[in-house]
Amino acid sequence: MSKVFNWGIIGPGRIAHKFANDLGVLPNAKLHAVASRSLDKALEFANKYSAVHAYGSYREIISCPDLDAIYIATPHPWHCENTLMCLEHNIPVLCEKPMGMNAKEVRQMIGLAKFQNTFLMEALWTRFLPTTKKVLELIAEGAIGEVNTVKADFGFKATFDAKHRLFNQSLGGGSLLDVGIYPVFLACLILGKPNSISAEASIGKSNVDENCGIVLKFDNQKLALLHASIVSNTKCEARIYGDKGVIQINSRWHEPTSITWYPEEGEPQDFFFEFDSFGYKHEIIEVQNCLASNKIESEDLSFDFSIDLAEVMDNIRIQAGIFYPMYDHFTEKEIATKANNFSQN
Ligand SMILES: NC(=O)c1ccc[n+]([C@@H]2O[C@H](COP(=O)([O-])OP(=O)(O)OC[C@H]3O[C@@H](n4cnc5c(N)ncnc54)[C@H](OP(=O)(O)O)[C@@H]3O)[C@@H](O)[C@H]2O)c1
């Protein structure tokens, strides 16, 4: 019988419920432990998903017996601290996106994973969906010729609440870090690391970006046109344009959906995929496969990719004026240099 992986969760909030559900659809994964700042909440969560251990503080989960991996599901500003705590104790980590508040944190986390020889991966689950894999396959087969442009948006209308994580600056609020990371991820996955960045944001009354528009420019004049919002329901579509056709990842493109291939000649072709979960099971399978092979990083979502992504996000923030004074480390000189010429970095 294949090994069953025992998972722990830190921060049993909204996304942790979906993740715990998806652990339950895999025959070789189960929720083993949960840690909350409230013991009552941990017990309730553990009870709902049949976990054996419940802890009323994050630190206690470190001593949990028989734990194979921990999923960090706290708001972004705690990802770094929670991840470092697990890695220091050699516990493999799957950490929610964005991996850190900035590239400095991401480098620190990955540095410790390497030093401790312990697995770490950013929970950019879209990377592992069958839709994404099919898109990469079609591109590699030349189905749309040479890709020249990626267009993607991710926006939803959230009810304003200055205390909620989405609108609260000290909880890492704003559209770019929460949903904008998905279009940026897709552009970098397909086109690599950009050479230059233009970005603008509308900063709302709670000082976070409510809308963010981004243009990335890559080698060979390739472009990405991206949009994120937490104040409007956008189409949530992604299109990849080539010189011989187009691939559309249908709405909402970042989660389980279908894709349509528009070849230069002939009829469009749809590809549908069956989904028996929220879609998180694919990243869980990737983590488990890596652990079973004693790998400390995923080849499909590597350390370098997460660092590059975080650097691109930092530079979008600098361009668009999205700052978190309590977490940022940018110097005036860095801001001026990067804002003027990202490509020299
Ligand atoms: N992959 C995806 O599809 C997806 C979707 C949504 C969100 N996310 C990511 O997942 C993370 C969590 O998002 P969420 O929507 O699940 O957040 P959430 O429900 O607002 O918070 C998650 C949990 O974090 C803990 N927490 C620790 N410090 C906190 C603080 N100072 N204030 C509030 N909560 C705190 C709380 O658990 P305890 O009080 O029990 O300790 C809370 O229940 C974010 O980084 C987000 O980007 C990913």
- B/e letters for 169-187, b = 16+ CB within 10 Å, e = fewer, are bebbbbbbbbbbbbbbbbb
294 part of a folded domain: no
265 part of a folded domain: yes
325 plus 186 within the same structural domain: yes
325 plus 217 within the same structural domain: yes
What CATH number corresponds to the domain at position 23? 3.40.50.720
Q: What percent of the chain has pLDDT over 70?
A: 97
Nearest protein CA to atom 8 of ligand 1, as residue: 15
263 plus 330 within the same structural domain: yes
150 plus 264 within the same structural domain: yes
- B/e letters for 23-45, b = 16+ CB within 10 Å, e = fewer, are beebeebbbbbbbbeeeebbbeb
255 part of a folded domain: yes
The total of structural domains in the chain comes to: 2
With a cut of 70, say whether residue 337 has pLDDT above it: no
185 part of a folded domain: yes
Query: Among 165, 236, 281, which is best to mutate for testing ligand 1, by the most ligand atoms less than 8 A from CB?
Result: 165
pLDDT category of residue 254 using cuts at 50, 70 and 90? confident
With a cut of 90, say whether residue 174 has pLDDT above it: yes
Please give the Cα distance from 274 to 30 (Å, whole number).
22
Nearest protein CA to atom 3 of ligand 1, as residue: 15
311 plus 259 within the same structural domain: yes
Q: What percent of the chain has pLDDT over 90?
A: 91
Q: Report pLDDT for 305.
A: 98
57 plus 154 within the same structural domain: no
195 plus 83 within the same structural domain: no
Decide which of 123, 143, 171 is a domain's last residue.
Answer: 123
pLDDT digits (tens, 9 = 90+) for 190-216: 999 999 999 999 999 999 999 999 999
Please give the Cα distance from 22 to 49 (Å, whole number).
11
The rounded Å distance from CA 336 to ligand 1 centre is 33
- Any ligand 1 atom below 6 A from CB of 170: no
Residue-averaged pLDDT of the chain: 95
- Check: CB of residue 324 under 8 Å from CB of residue 74: no
90 plus 156 within the same structural domain: no
Decide which of 123, 144, 166 is a domain's last residue.
Answer: 123
pLDDT category of residue 345 using cuts at 50, 70 and 90? very low
- Any ligand 1 atom below 6 A from CB of 163: no
With a cut of 90, say whether residue 344 has pLDDT above it: no
222 part of a folded domain: yes
136 plus 64 within the same structural domain: no
pLDDT category of residue 1 using cuts at 50, 70 and 90? low
What CATH number corresponds to the domain at position 316? 3.30.360.10
168 plus 95 within the same structural domain: no
211 plus 311 within the same structural domain: yes
Q: Report pLDDT for 180.
A: 98
With a cut of 50, say whether residue 61 has pLDDT above it: yes
299 part of a folded domain: no
pLDDT category of residue 275 using cuts at 50, 70 and 90? confident
90 plus 171 within the same structural domain: no
Q: Which of 9-23, 69-83, 233-247, 254-268 has the lowest mean pLDDT?
A: 254-268
Decide which of 93, 123, 153 is a domain's last residue.
Answer: 123
220 part of a folded domain: yes
Enter the pTM of the model: 0.96
Q: 116: domain range?
A: 5-123
290 part of a folded domain: no
Q: From the DSSP assignment, how many helices (H) and strands (E) are in the chain?
A: 10, 14
